[in-house]
Chain A
Amino acid sequence: MTYIRPAFHHPALPQNELGYTRKDYEGSISTLCAGCGHDSISAAIVEACFELNIEPHKVAKLSGIGCSSKTPAYFLNQSHGFNSVHGRMPSVATGAYLANTDLLYLGVSGDGDSASIGMGQFVHAIRRSLNITYIVMNNGCYGLTKGQDSATADYGYVAKAGHKNIYEAIDLCGLAIELGAGFVAQSFSGDKKQLIPLIKAAMSYQGFAFLNVLSPCVTFNNNSGSTKSYDYIREHNAVMSGMDFIPVKEEITADYQEDTVREIELHDGSYIRLHKLQQGWNPEDKYAVVNALHKARASHEILTGLLYINNDQMPLHQIIRLTDTPLNKLTEQALVPGAGILDQINASFA
């Protein structure tokens, strides 16, 4: 009987600039079902943080309830974490963020956690432009409570238990764009080549970065009538572009055709390079993107890749002119500036 991961690792495991290996970004061994898409996303997060040379103690991972929300236990063991109540991760994240803008915030949620019970929280976090990478591990069902249809289950799909879904699905990406999220991407747990650079870009983005990752529930939603199964997603995946995340600007070396490459610079100086762009696709054109999402729904396609990016979005701390110093570092002197300053303020109302 094992449920223990051996301590040995590959002797030639590569190290990143901080001298850490991927092992240093791992978490406890997963207790999810074997083959769950969520585990692949965890692995992609590990890889992304390793490649980004992130110091693990500079990350706060937050989640709600669900199989998806359990995953922060399975990556970044050295980071801060908060497993909140069902659907309430956005409030906890907002509070934590206001207290300390020094950390990188990684929110992990499920389609049940965000599109049902937590919908109210989800939309307001976007509206406020919380500076967070918000990943929904979307399997179209409530995995943890044994596979009930969720609000992202597609109309007409046939559940494992046999019934047909009679409600329309909520499109989380469309909703996020509508509400003003500045970074919206869609991907698939089974496509790490696309997912890892997307996570890296999202974590480097200033503002609300939303990642809707289709993530098959092997146990309750991987049947032949499912529209969130490994097979269905692979068959209906319409990749909008290839993507590389480039930490520092460098020459284009691969010989892409000019009109199929697009580069977007992020605020920290890193770049997103889109290549093999679909004809006429422009992720900076909000209206076109919304249009494309509607068309895709009608034609049963799943658009994946970076869907939308607005590089001028103002993150929450700038909107409310928050101090840069974390709360726990604000000294009494800074918090109680004294009578002189108070007089100045009072005088300003005179």
Chain B
Amino acid sequence: MVKTSEVNPGYFHKVVDCQYACPAHTPVPEYIRLIAAGRYTEAYMINWESNVFPGILGRTCDRPCEPACRRGRVEEQPVAICRLKRVAADFKDEIGHLMPEITVVKNGKKIALIGGGPASLTVARDLAPLGYEIHLYDDQSKAGGMMRSQIPSFRLPESVLDEEVDRILNFGIHRHFNTYVNSMKSMLQSGYDAIFVGTGAPRGKDLTDLPGRWEARTKVHIGIEWLANVAFDHIHKIGKKVIVLGGGNTAMDCCRTARRLGGEDVKVIVRSPFNDMKASPWEKEDAMHEDIPIIDNHVPKSFVVENGELKGMYFEKVMAQYDEKGRRKLIPTGEPPAFYEADEILIAIGQENSFPWIERDLGIEFDEWGLPVIHEKYFSSTLPGVFFGGDAALGPKNIITAVAQGHEAAISIDLYCSGQPLEDRPPAQVNMYSAKMGIHEWSYDSYVTTDPRYAVPQADKSQTLRNRKLEVELGYDLKSAFLEAQRCLNCDVQTVFTDSKCIECDACMDICPTNCITFTEDGPEQELRMRLLVPALNESQDIMVSGPLKTGRVMVKDEDVCLHCGLCAERCPTAAWDMQHFLYNTAKAGQSCYV
């Protein structure tokens, strides 16, 4: 097959599984090594450059990096990447002096950001240091979007949120809080050079068609509205028996919040089977730990109201059937409907976008589902100068996605405002250098520990259930942080192969603990994969193939379970293998001027 062993940033980027899976491409192993070295401030800054909210994300991120982590392929559990991020935030020093300088003299361009969530804040973070005058609009009294209105304080303390949000607001951002933008048309006429829409997906889905919904209305709440009311101190208690409908993370936050507001018998009842639920496994665990049963395969049928009082709900029992394409169907089991008592019910079955304030005759096109038509990479709308990002752009996701899209939108806005085409994007910044320091000595800790994942300690339930603001997770202490950091396999220290140096002694193939390397005859990729010492069946992982060596064979390395232990390079007599640090940073707005 085609040679893939030459130095190629795209190839190596993919090898760093966690960073590749992170929407913002945070250089994960780099900050984990800094944590192990006790350099928390630097670890924080690497995060801050990429994901803007390390303290917030270190507690709340959806962590797509962890299922991707290579360690999960050689043992049970991936590295606790997310909670290590929190360590950097918890133990950093003062960082004020490391912040970019915000010049008094501006570049003459004015930008409006509508919505004050993580997407808009990221755009503000990227553009303010470049001299843009930024105006931030939000209908709430403070910035933060759903990070403030939805994520409960027992997962994300207000102080952590304030610190990271205020850091950006202090970049001279003009704040227009308690201001609901009700007309895009008037925004377009207000003299902004570009407008960014980061209004999220603010409408919670309802079950309006179910019998009894209207009669029960005072005791049935939309989950995200209810959570916002709790967060802004409008609601302080709930009935003793609570049913939460839905199986996503919102449902988990609703039920856990209900437990803290007086709910004693709180249940989550969900249509899908337990394993198909949208909520992350750890969110489900945390809910169950707080004595909240999750009842699956139950489809809501009706609200039961007697004499004007809510009594409970009926559910139809179903079971899941999957067709050959893996599509699911919920088939009624035929059992009689199940009744569950409730004093109050929270509906947490999803969110929708809604843009009642954007007039449809402005040139901003919407699709048949009422979503704006957005360029998937540039985050531009069909009206030049109007950009979208976060939940408002491509539907509800999570904070880190909102951040990643904010970065891209900021690049687009910067290009747009300087009259450059949106496709002229600055390239990623890549740096590579050898890790070799001696015969068996590397500038990273190449030893592979077998320690299983360290658990993050939690405050006692008897305390946390009494105070909705008391943070449940306590975070790692420095000792367990170090040990957990040591579990990282350093996937960004790349195995770099130089064909011309190899004398085909087989030493690397013989030593490799995970049988990654094979010297064999060349062939088409699919066939070659099957001929390796251990066949390379995980096709999501690339194979590195050299050019023809002296004997005509090729070197093939399966990236799948390489431990980055460096033994191949240690055993190579000719340094045909080298271990090289590979630092990959996605481009940020403004970097185009330097290239």
Partner of B513, one of A9, A11, A231: A9
Beta-carbon contact of A230 and B504 below 8 Å: yes
Beta-carbon contact of A35 and B513 below 8 Å: no
Partner of A6, one of B441, B510, B565: B565
The residue of chain A having its C-beta at the shortest distance from the C-beta of B441 within the complex is: A1
- Residue A221 lies at the interface, judged by CB distance under 8 Å to chain B: no
Beta-carbon contact of B505 and A8 below 8 Å: no
Chain B interface secondary structure, helix, strand, loop or mixed? loop
Q: Which residues of A contact B456 (CB under 8 A)?
A: none
- Residue B534 lies at the interface, judged by CB distance under 8 Å to chain A: yes
The residue of chain B having its C-beta at the shortest distance from the C-beta of A23 within the complex is: B513
Beta-carbon contact of B505 and A10 below 8 Å: no
Q: Which residues of B contact A12 (CB under 8 A)?
A: 534-535, 537
Q: Which residues of A contact B506 (CB under 8 A)?
A: 39-40, 43, 189-190, 192
CB distance from A304 to the nearest CB of B (A): 14
Interchain CA distance A94-B74 in the complex, whole Å: 44
CB distance from B510 to the nearest CB of A (A): 4
Partner of A5, one of B74, B75, B511, B535: B511
Partner of B507, one of A2, A40, A222: A40
Residue among B73, B503, B537, B565 facing the most chain A CB atoms (10 A cut-off): B503
- Residue A13 lies at the interface, judged by CB distance under 8 Å to chain B: yes
Which one of B388-396, B445-453, B474-482 contacts A?
B445-453
Beta-carbon contact of A190 and B440 below 8 Å: no
Beta-carbon contact of B507 and A34 below 8 Å: yes
Given contacts A7-B448, A13-B534, contact A230 B505 (CB under 8 A): yes
Interchain CA distance A216-B504 in the complex, whole Å: 12
Beta-carbon contact of B505 and A35 below 8 Å: yes
Partner of A9, one of B509, B511, B514, B550: B514
Given contacts A12-B537, A230-B504, contact A34 B73 (CB under 8 A): no
B561-581: which residues lie under 8 A (CB-CB) from chain A?
561, 563, 565-567, 570-574
Beta-carbon contact of A34 and B447 below 8 Å: no
Given contacts A8-B450, A40-B505, contact A234 B550 (CB under 8 A): yes
Beta-carbon contact of A4 and B450 below 8 Å: no
Q: Which residues of B contact A204 (CB under 8 A)?
A: none
Partner of B572, one of A11, A34, A43, A234: A34
A1-30: which residues lie under 8 A (CB-CB) from chain B?
1-14, 22, 29-30
- Residue B307 lies at the interface, judged by CB distance under 8 Å to chain A: no
Q: Which residues of B contact A1 (CB under 8 A)?
A: 438, 440-441
Beta-carbon contact of B510 and A35 below 8 Å: no
Chain A interface secondary structure, helix, strand, loop or mixed? loop
- Residue A36 lies at the interface, judged by CB distance under 8 Å to chain B: yes
Q: Which residues of B contact A33 (CB under 8 A)?
A: 573
- Residue A218 lies at the interface, judged by CB distance under 8 Å to chain B: yes
Beta-carbon contact of B513 and A218 below 8 Å: no
B459-510: which residues lie under 8 A (CB-CB) from chain A?
503-507, 509-510
Q: What is the total number of residues of chain A having a CB less than 8 Å from a CB of chain B?
A: 35
Q: Which residues of B contact A9 (CB under 8 A)?
A: 513-515
CB distance from B386 to the nearest CB of A (A): 49
Q: Which residues of B contact A87 (CB under 8 A)?
A: none
- Residue B8 lies at the interface, judged by CB distance under 8 Å to chain A: no
- Residue B141 lies at the interface, judged by CB distance under 8 Å to chain A: no
Beta-carbon contact of A2 and B505 below 8 Å: no
CB distance from B434 to the nearest CB of A (A): 16
The residue of chain A having its C-beta at the shortest distance from the C-beta of B558 within the complex is: A10
CB distance from A140 to the nearest CB of B (A): 16
CB distance from A23 to the nearest CB of B (A): 9
Q: Which residues of A contact B570 (CB under 8 A)?
A: 2-3, 34
Interchain CA distance A282-B505 in the complex, whole Å: 31
- Residue A194 lies at the interface, judged by CB distance under 8 Å to chain B: no
Beta-carbon contact of A4 and B447 below 8 Å: yes
Given contacts A35-B573, A39-B510, A192-B506, contact A8 B74 (CB under 8 A): yes
The residue of chain A having its C-beta at the shortest distance from the C-beta of B569 within the complex is: A34
Given contacts A40-B505, A230-B505, contact A10 B561 (CB under 8 A): yes
Interchain CA distance A7-B514 in the complex, whole Å: 9
Interchain CA distance A37-B507 in the complex, whole Å: 8
Interchain CA distance A11-B541 in the complex, whole Å: 15
CB distance from B158 to the nearest CB of A (A): 42
- Residue B190 lies at the interface, judged by CB distance under 8 Å to chain A: no
Beta-carbon contact of B448 and A8 below 8 Å: yes
Q: Which residues of A contact B438 (CB under 8 A)?
A: 1
Q: Size band of the B side of the interface?
A: 35 or more
A162-196: which residues lie under 8 A (CB-CB) from chain B?
189-190, 192
The residue of chain A having its C-beta at the shortest distance from the C-beta of B439 within the complex is: A34
Interchain CA distance A7-B537 in the complex, whole Å: 22
Interchain CA distance A2-B566 in the complex, whole Å: 9
Interchain CA distance A39-B511 in the complex, whole Å: 9
- Residue B418 lies at the interface, judged by CB distance under 8 Å to chain A: no
Q: Which residues of B contact A14 (CB under 8 A)?
A: 534
Interchain CA distance A37-B574 in the complex, whole Å: 14
- Residue B159 lies at the interface, judged by CB distance under 8 Å to chain A: no
Instruction: Mark contacts of B510-523 with chain A using CB atoms, 8 A cut-off: 1 yes-contact digit, 0 otherwise.
Output: 11011110000000
CB distance from B543 to the nearest CB of A (A): 14
Q: Which residues of A contact B513 (CB under 8 A)?
A: 5-9
CB distance from B562 to the nearest CB of A (A): 10
Q: Which residues of B contact A22 (CB under 8 A)?
A: 515
Q: Which residues of A contact B73 (CB under 8 A)?
A: 11
CB distance from B49 to the nearest CB of A (A): 31
Residue among A3, A6, A7, A29 facing the most chain B CB atoms (10 A cut-off): A6
Beta-carbon contact of B567 and A43 below 8 Å: no
Beta-carbon contact of A2 and B537 below 8 Å: no
- Residue B208 lies at the interface, judged by CB distance under 8 Å to chain A: no
Interchain CA distance A11-B571 in the complex, whole Å: 23
Partner of A2, one of B440, B510, B514: B440
Beta-carbon contact of A34 and B561 below 8 Å: no
Residue among B438, B504, B505 facing the most chain A CB atoms (10 A cut-off): B505
- Residue B551 lies at the interface, judged by CB distance under 8 Å to chain A: yes
Q: Which residues of A contact B509 (CB under 8 A)?
A: 43
CB distance from B198 to the nearest CB of A (A): 42
Q: Which residues of A contact B537 (CB under 8 A)?
A: 12
Q: Which residues of B contact A34 (CB under 8 A)?
A: 507, 570-573
CB distance from B521 to the nearest CB of A (A): 10
Interchain CA distance A189-B75 in the complex, whole Å: 34
Interchain CA distance A90-B259 in the complex, whole Å: 79
Instruction: Mark contacts of B115-133 with chain A using CB atoms, 8 A cut-off: 1 yes-contact digit, 0 otherwise.
Output: 0000000000000000000
Q: Which residues of A contact B504 (CB under 8 A)?
A: 190, 230
CB distance from B156 to the nearest CB of A (A): 35
Given contacts A2-B440, A6-B565, contact A42 B550 (CB under 8 A): no
The residue of chain A having its C-beta at the shortest distance from the C-beta of B564 within the complex is: A6
Beta-carbon contact of B561 and A11 below 8 Å: yes
Beta-carbon contact of B534 and A35 below 8 Å: no
13 contacts between A and B (CB under 8 A): A6-B513, A6-B514, A9-B513, A10-B514, A11-B73, A34-B507, A40-B506, A43-B510, A189-B505, A189-B506, A190-B506, A218-B573, A222-B503
| Top-6 shortest CB links A-B | A35-B573, A6-B448, A43-B510, A35-B505, A34-B571, A8-B74
What 8 new A-B contacts, CB under 8 Å, besides A9-B513, A218-B573? A6-B450, A10-B561, A12-B534, A22-B515, A34-B573, A40-B510, A218-B505, A230-B505
A-binding residues in B (CB < 8 A): 73-75, 438, 440-442, 446-448, 450, 503-507, 509-511, 513-516, 534-535, 537, 550-551, 561, 563, 565-567, 570-574
